[in-house]
């Protein structure tokens, strides 16, 4: 059952995202029972992770539904956390007569996906909704009107985008204030450091959300030359600071002045702890650039 807005104490409603965000991309594969999933959420909350990142396509929509089952199992849990989800990617579906993966940011489709996510989670509002990928056919004015309407209705509190270039972000932000651009960044993926994405985020005060901060596990286990080179540079720093490689990777991202929100990708509680531990670690510039130098394969100019 959706909890009526009037019954929710305003003081309990979270406002800002937690510094670390829990990612639910593969959560439909974690094979947790509802009780196990509820416990995982509560343990995350105890660590200070109050923000949970979803998308309508994760697990073919099942990830949102499973999370919603956990929220329904514990009354009051919803008001202790922020729900972030994404929409705009249409996958092939016989039921919906979709034959080709493509993007859709039409007003009708965005509204339909928002309302579907509300049902999946069993809530009356989403804290943040992102357009998942830049749509070449996006009508920025129409989409901004859709954002405004859904916000007036209380269904979405904040809007952002994901994987957008600075130009694409600026196009939509000029018509409706966006709060984030969720982008890929890790010691093995440096593009956003140099294409203006993080400069724009810092200029606008729109804190970026960072997906795949451990490069999908490649940073820790990859056998390619770049992964091995970066690990070799990171390990002595991690040993000297007394932290794990994942914690060092999160700290490397958190060091940036755009104040990014790294998103975890693990269902393991230990994975969440390693991310949270990075909040107590501030790298100096030389250590930060040692990792950048290894990743770039060259010294700074």
Q: Give tens-digit pLDDT for 240-259.
A: 999 999 999 999 999 999 99
Cα separation, 49 vs 237, whole angstroms: 26
User: Is residue 127 situated within a structural domain?
Assistant: yes
Task: Assign 169 a pLDDT band (cuts: 50, 70, 90).
Answer: very high
Cα separation, 159 vs 179, whole angstroms: 6
Find out whether 250 and 275 touch, Cβ atoms under 8 Å. Answer: yes
Q: Where are the alpha helices (DSSP H) in the chain?
A: 34-46, 62-73, 107-121, 140-152, 166-173, 191-194, 197-204, 218-221, 225-241, 245-254, 269-277, 285-296
pLDDT at 61: 87
Task: Assign 180 a pLDDT band (cuts: 50, 70, 90).
Answer: very high
Task: Assign 71 a pLDDT band (cuts: 50, 70, 90).
Answer: very high
pLDDT at 230: 98
User: Given a cut of 90, is residue 221 above it in pLDDT?
Assistant: yes
Task: Assign 7 a pLDDT band (cuts: 50, 70, 90).
Answer: very low
User: Is residue 41 situated within a structural domain?
Assistant: yes
User: Given a cut of 70, is residue 55 above it in pLDDT?
Assistant: yes
Cα separation, 183 vs 206, whole angstroms: 12
Q: What is the pLDDT of residues 92-101, one digit of tens each?
A: 988 889 999 9
- Of 58, 103, 109, 176, the active-site residue reads 58
User: Given a cut of 60, is residue 292 above it in pLDDT?
Assistant: yes
User: Given a cut of 70, is residue 9 above it in pLDDT?
Assistant: no
Write the CATH number for 52.
3.20.20.100
User: Given a cut of 80, is residue 175 above it in pLDDT?
Assistant: yes
pLDDT (mean) for 35-61? 97
Task: Assign 14 a pLDDT band (cuts: 50, 70, 90).
Answer: very low
User: Is residue 270 situated within a structural domain?
Assistant: no
Q: Is 107 exposed, middle or buried (0-12, 13-18, 19+ CB in 10 A)?
A: middle
**Residues of the domain holding 96:** 13-179
Write down the mean pLDDT value for the chain: 94
Bridge partner list, 128: 84, 158
| Predicted TM-score of the model (pTM) | 0.93
Active site residue 58: yes
Q: Which tokens go with 272?
A: 């969440």
pLDDT at 95: 86
pLDDT at 178: 98
pLDDT (mean) for 137-158? 98
User: Given a cut of 90, is residue 120 above it in pLDDT?
Assistant: yes
User: Given a cut of 80, is residue 54 above it in pLDDT?
Assistant: yes
Q: What is the pLDDT of residues 224-241, one digit of tens each?
A: 999 999 999 999 999 999
User: Is residue 269 situated within a structural domain?
Assistant: no
User: Is residue 139 situated within a structural domain?
Assistant: yes
Q: Which tokens go with 222?
A: 């990859």
User: Is residue 211 situated within a structural domain?
Assistant: no
User: Is residue 219 situated within a structural domain?
Assistant: no
Percent of residues, the chain, with pLDDT higher than 70: 95
pLDDT at 192: 98
User: Given a cut of 90, is residue 10 above it in pLDDT?
Assistant: no
Radius of gyration of the chain (CA): 19
Q: Determine the 3-state secondary structure of 11 from DSSP.
A: helix
Residue with token string 């919803």: 78
| CB < 8 Å & 24+ apart, contacts of 62-68 | 62/28, 63/24, 63/25, 63/27, 63/28, 64/117, 64/120, 64/121, 65/120, 66/27, 66/28, 66/32, 66/34, 66/37, 67/24, 67/27, 67/37, 67/41, 67/120, 67/121, 68/120, 68/121, 68/122, 68/123
User: Is residue 150 situated within a structural domain?
Assistant: yes
Q: Where are the alpha helices (DSSP H) in 25-156?
A: 34-46, 62-73, 107-121, 140-152
Per the structure, the count of domains in the chain is 1
């Amino acid at each position: 059952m959706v909890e009526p807005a009037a019954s929710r104490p305003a003081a309990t409603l979270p406002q800002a995202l937690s510094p670390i965000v829990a990612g639910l991309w593969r959560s439909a594969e974690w094979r947790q029972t509802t009780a196990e999933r509820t416990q995982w959420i509560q343990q995350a909350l105890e660590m200070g992770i109050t923000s949970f990142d979803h998308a309508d396509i994760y697990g073919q929509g099942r990830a949102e539904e499973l999370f919603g089952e956990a929220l329904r199992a514990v009354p009051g849990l919803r008001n202790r956390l922020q729900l972030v989800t994404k929409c705009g990617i249409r996958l092939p579906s016989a039921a919906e007569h979709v034959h080709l993966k493509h993007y859709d940011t039409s007003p009708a489709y965005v509204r339909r996906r928002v309302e579907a996510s509300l049902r999946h989670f069993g809530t009356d509002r989403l804290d943040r909704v992102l357009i998942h990928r830049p749509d070449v056919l996006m009508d920025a004015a129409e989409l901004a009107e859709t954002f405004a309407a859904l916000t007036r209705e209380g269904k979405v509190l904040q809007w952002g985008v994901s994987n957008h270039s600075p130009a694409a972000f600026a196009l939509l932000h000029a018509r409706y204030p966006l709060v984030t651009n969720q982008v890929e960044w890790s010691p093995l993926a440096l593009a956003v450091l140099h294409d203006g994405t993080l400069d724009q985020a810092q200029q606008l005060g729109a804190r970026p959300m960072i997906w795949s901060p451990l490069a999908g596990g490649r940073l820790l286990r990859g056998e390619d030359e770049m992964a091995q080179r970066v690990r070799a540079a990171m390990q002595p720093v991690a040993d000297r600071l007394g932290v794990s490689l994942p914690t060092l990777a999160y700290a490397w991202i958190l060091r940036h002045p755009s104040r990014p929100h790294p998103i975890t990708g693990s269902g393991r509680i230990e994975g969440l702890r390693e991310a949270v531990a990075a909040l107590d670690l501030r790298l100096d510039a030389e250590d930060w650039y040692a990792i950048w130098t290894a990743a770039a394969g060259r010294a700074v100019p």
